[in-house]
Amino acid sequence: MTTQLQELLDSNRLWARKMEATRPGFFTGLLQQQAPQYLWIGCADSRVPANELVDLAPGELFVHRNVANVVVHSDLNCLSVIQFATDVLQIKHIIVVGHSNCGGVAAALEDRRVGVADNWIRHVQDVRNRHHAFLETVAADERVNALCELNVVEQALNACQTTIVMDAWQRGQELVVHGWVYRLHNGLLKDLTMTAASLDEVMPAYERALALVHERYAPAKAA
């Protein structure tokens, strides 16, 4: 087994050289400041690399990732990222991004014990329990993806309800919260329309996004 990870360091050297060749002064330019427009709150899953999916360069996307893209009202880690992005960087968009076949969501759905993360995934189980009646109507093989989408809608709602976002809206700052899901099988992002640019828009957006999830995963109607 290698102890040096030389291949990663070599790849990094090549990447930096390529970036500098295509965009001379790229790195020294970033030294001065970062001015991203977007905050991405996504899953830690290695198949969902934030910058790559939306083809953004270093400096263009502020990122927070955790297991199952959860926004917990008392999570100082996530709240600190949202606060810095909103108040200091003045980003314009917060995007909560889930993904299909999420392992954290599947564990929550199936009550599977995975270790210390059980306590974290408990937040996704709260989502499952809230939508239990609907999930029961969804075909068993689609239930994980339905819960992935419901989880995005609920976590985006949580983001809207942080004091940071509410204060920003209160003082008239331009800030839009979004909920998206990334489909592993085709590499495409889908907008779940949980989109709010003010406090008034939050609940209508939440209801609309939930209705669309229900529609997408409704059992096929008998002819």
| DSSP H stretches of helix in 35-102 | 50-53, 76-83
Nearest distance from residue 26's CB to Zn ion, in Å?
A: 31
User: Does 160 participate in catalysis according to the annotation?
Assistant: no
Give the x-and-dash track for 154-193 against Zn ion (CB under 5 A): ----------------------------------------
Q: Catalytic residue among 43, 78, 148, 160, which?
A: 43
| DSSP H stretches of helix in the chain | 6-22, 26-32, 50-53, 76-83, 103-110, 118-130, 132-137, 143-160, 163-170, 199-216
User: Does 102 participate in catalysis according to the annotation?
Assistant: yes
Q: Which stretch binds Zn ion (CB under 5 A): 94-102, 166-174, 181-189, 198-206?
A: 94-102
* Secondary structure (DSSP) of 163-198: HHHHHHHHTT---EEEEEEEETTTTEEEE----BSS
Q: How far apart are the first and last CA of the chain?
A: 59
Q: Which is nearer to Zn ion, 104 or 179 (CB)?
A: 104
User: Does 214 participate in catalysis according to the annotation?
Assistant: no
Q: Which of residues 2-61 bind Zn ion (CB under 5 A)?
A: 43, 45
Q: Which is nearer to Zn ion, 40 or 169 (CB)?
A: 40
- At residue 198, φ and ψ (nearest 5 deg) are -160, 165
Q: Which stretch binds Zn ion (CB under 5 A): 77-85, 98-106, 112-120, 154-162?
A: 98-106
Residues 6+ apart with CB under 8 A from 95: 38, 39, 40, 41, 177, 178, 179, 180
Tell which one of 50, 102, 152, 156 touches Zn ion (CB under 5 A).
Answer: 102
Nearest distance from residue 202's CB to Zn ion, in Å?
A: 25
Q: Which residues of the shown chain bind Zn ion in the complex (CB under 5 A)?
A: 43, 45, 102, 104
